[in-house]
Structure 1
Amino acid sequence: MGFTRLLTLVVTVASLLRFDQVIAAHTNSSLRVRQNTAVPVYNTCTVPRSFALTFDDGLYGYSEKLDGHLNRANAKGSFFINGQNWGCIYDSADQLLARFNQGHFIGSHTWSHVHLNQGTYDQIDRQLELLETAMIKILGVKPLYMRPPYGEYNDVVLQVLRNRGYKGLVMWSQDSGDTHIPAPSSSPVIRSYRSYPEKTIVLNHEVKDFTVEEVIPAVIPILQRKGFSLQTVPECLGLSSDPADWYVRVQEAGTRDDSWTCEGTPLPGKFE
C-alpha cells in the first residue's frame, strides 16, 4: 500500500472515530438531561424488612376507624387522597388534620380521580393544583408525592409533576384486590397478605368497609409477626423519615371559611 493511500485511510478512520464520539457524547448528554429532570416512579420499598400499607380514594366515613387500627399497632399508613371523589375533602378536614398530626403520610391522588392519561397538560395541572390548594388550606402543606388514579400515567403527567416540584410518583408492588372482590369477602385479601414479601408497597382503598373493618385489623399482626416494620412510603424507600421532607410547608393549618368548598370544582371522574 502506498504512503499516500495509507495516510488517507488513517485520516478517514480518525474522522469516523471523532464523529462517533460526538454522536455518543450528544446521546449521553440527552440521556443525562432526561434522567436528571424526570420524576422518579416508585413501586417497591428498598429498606430491608420494611412494608408500606397504602390507601387510596379517601377520605371517607371509615377513615377515623382505619387510623385507629394503625395507631394502636404503632403502624404508619400512606394515604393518597382526593378532593372530590367519595365526598368533599373539606367535610373531612378535621380527620385529615388528625391523620397528618399522627405522622401518617399524605399524598395526592388528584382532585376528582380522573384518568390522567386522557387529559391535556392544563387539565392534569389543574387536578393537582386543586388538591394542593385544599391541603394547604387544611394542613398548611403542599404534597410532594402523587399516585395516579388507576395507576395510569404518561410522559405528560410526569412533566406536570416535575414542573410542579414533585419528588416522585408512587405506584405499588402488590394490589390487595379489595376493589375487585364483592363485599364482605375479606378472606381472599387476607390470604394474599400472608404471601407478601418484605419491601412490599400494597394498594388498598379506605372506602371499602371490609378493608377497614376486617382486613387491616387481621393483617397488621400477621405482618408484624413476620418482623416487618410498617412504614410510610418515604421511609420504606429510604428517602426520609422526617415528615418535613414529605411536603412543602406553606403556612400554618387554616381555619375553615367560605372558600372551603367543593362547589364549582370538577365532579368525580371529570376534568371539568
Structure 2
Amino acid sequence: MISTGKTNKRAAGLRAVPALLAAGVFALSGCTTVHATAPATARAQAAPGAPARFGTVDCREAKCIALTFDAGPSENSARLLDILKEKEVPATFFLLGKRHIEKYPDLVRRMAAEGHEVASHTWDHQILTRIPPQRIREELERPNEAIERLTGHRPTLMRPPQGRTDDTVHRISRELGLAEVLWSVTAKGYTTDDSALIRKRVLEQASRDGIILLHDIYPGTVLAVPGIVDALKQRGYVFVTVPQLLAPGKAEPGTVYRP
C-alpha cells in the first residue's frame, strides 16, 4: 500500500498534467514538444494484410473506448477485477513495481490470466524527464522483468508518470520495445473519494477512441467503475484494451499514443 505522504506527492504532480494534453501535439514544461499518434491513425497505418480485428472487436467499425488503471496493484485491485469479470470488460493495467508488483504478485498473474493487458508505469514512479538515462532504463526494465517472470509476457506498453516524456525517454523506450500510452479522459480520482463525482467526470469527457485514466489505488475510484461501465455501454461503447484500440495497427516502440 502506498503511504499517504507518497500518494499526496504523486497526486500533487498529477494535478497539472491534463491541461498539457489537450492536443495531439503538446509541450511539456522543460521538455521537448511531443507528437502523439491517435488510435485512428495507428489503425490507418496498419501494414497491408494485417488481421482486420483484434479478437472479436474491430474498432474501425465499433465505437471503442479503453479503460486503463495506473499505479496498482493494490488492496483494491481484487475487487476491481471482480467487477471487470462480472461486467465482461477488458482493461489495461499500468503497474508500478516497488511496493505493488512485488507486494501483489498473485494479482498481476490474475490480471493476465483474465485477459487484461498488463503494462508498466515504471518501478518507483520517478518522473522520467528529471532523471539520467541509466535511471530511466532501470525504471523501465525492472517492472518489465518482474511482469515477465509472473505472466510469461514482457510488456510492450508503458505509461510515463504524470505523462511526462521527451526524446530521451522515446529513445530508451524504443530500445526496450515499449510504446508510450497517454490518455484523453481523467477523473482526477486522487482529488476525491466521491464515486458519483468520479463517474460524472469520466462520462463528461468520454468519446470514441478515448483512453480513460483511473487509479485502482483509490477505493472511491473502484466503486465508480460499475456505473461508468454501465453508462458507457448504454451509449453504445465497446470496451477494449489499448492494443485492441490500435488494431489492426500495432503499438510501435518509442511512439506516443493518445486520442
Partner of 2:183: 172
Match 1:190 to one of 189, 199, 202 = 199
Q: What CA deviation, in whole Å up to 9, does each residue of 1:15-65 have, x standing for no partner?
A: xxxxxxxxxxxxxxxxxxxxxxxx984565663400111100001001011
SS at match of 1:160: helix
Q: Which moved more, 1:192-201 or 1:73-82?
A: 192-201
Partner of 2:67: 53
- Asked if the contact 2:70/2:121 (under 8 Å) is kept, the reply is yes
Cα 1:110–1:93, aligned 2, differ >3 Å: closer, same or farther?
Answer: same
TM-score (norm 1): 0.68
Displacement of 1:133 in angstroms is: 1.4
Greater gyration radius: 1
Cα 1:43–1:109, aligned 2, differ >3 Å: closer, same or farther?
Answer: farther
Displacement of 1:94 in angstroms is: 1.0
Partner of 1:229: 238
Q: What CA deviation, in whole Å up to 9, does each residue of 1:85-117 have, x standing for no partner?
A: xx2422211111111011001111100011000
Partner of 2:56: none
Gaps of 5+ in 1: 1-38, 247-272
- Asked if the contact 2:74/2:100 (under 8 Å) is kept, the reply is no
Cα 1:88–1:193, aligned 2, differ >3 Å: closer, same or farther?
Answer: closer
Q: How does 1:1-272 map to 2 (within 5 A)?
A: 41-42=36-37, 47=59, 48-84=62-98, 87-166=99-178, 168-179=179-190, 181-183=191-193, 185-195=194-204, 196-213=206-223, 215-239=224-248
| Structure 1 vs Structure 2 CA RMSD | 2.3
In the alignment, the residues of structure 1 paired with residue 237 and residue 203 of structure 2 have an alpha-carbon distance, to the nearest angstrom, of 12
Displacement of 1:240 in angstroms is: 6.6
Q: Percent identity?
A: 27
Gaps of 5+ in 2: 1-33, 44-58, 253-259
Give 4+ residue runs of structure 1 displaced > 6 Å after superposition. none
In the alignment, the residues of structure 2 paired with residue 75 and residue 55 of structure 1 have an alpha-carbon distance, to the nearest angstrom, of 13
Partner of 2:19: none
Q: What CA deviation, in whole Å up to 9, does each residue of 1:74-95 have, x standing for no partner?
A: 11111000101xx242221111
Equivalent pairs counted in the alignment come to 200
